Amino acid sequence: MDTEIASRDFVVDASRERVWRLIGKVILGSLPGMEEMEILDENNFRAMLRVKVSFLEFKMKLKGEIVDMAPPDSLAVNIGLEGLVGYFRMSQKVALNMTSAEGGKTTVACKAVALDIGTLSRVLFLGQARRFAQSTFEAIEKRLQELA
Q: How many domains does the chain have?
A: 1
pTM for this entry: 0.86
Mean pLDDT of the chain: 89
pLDDT on residue 121: 65
CATH number, position 90 = 3.30.530.20
Please classify residue 122 by burial: count the beta carbons closer than 10 Å to its beta carbon, then call 0-12 exposed, 13-18 middle and 19+ buried.
middle
- Region at 103 (left for phi over 0; alpha for psi -120 to 50; beta for the rest): left
Dist. CA 90–CA 121, nearest whole Å:
7
Please indicate, yes or no, if residue 54 is contained in any of the structural domains. Answer: no
pLDDT tens for 70-108 read: 999 999 999 998 887 767 788 899 999 999 999 999 999
Please indicate, yes or no, if residue 102 is contained in any of the structural domains. Answer: yes
Contact 136, 23 (CB under 8 A): no
Whole domain around residue 86: which residue ranges? 3-32+67-147
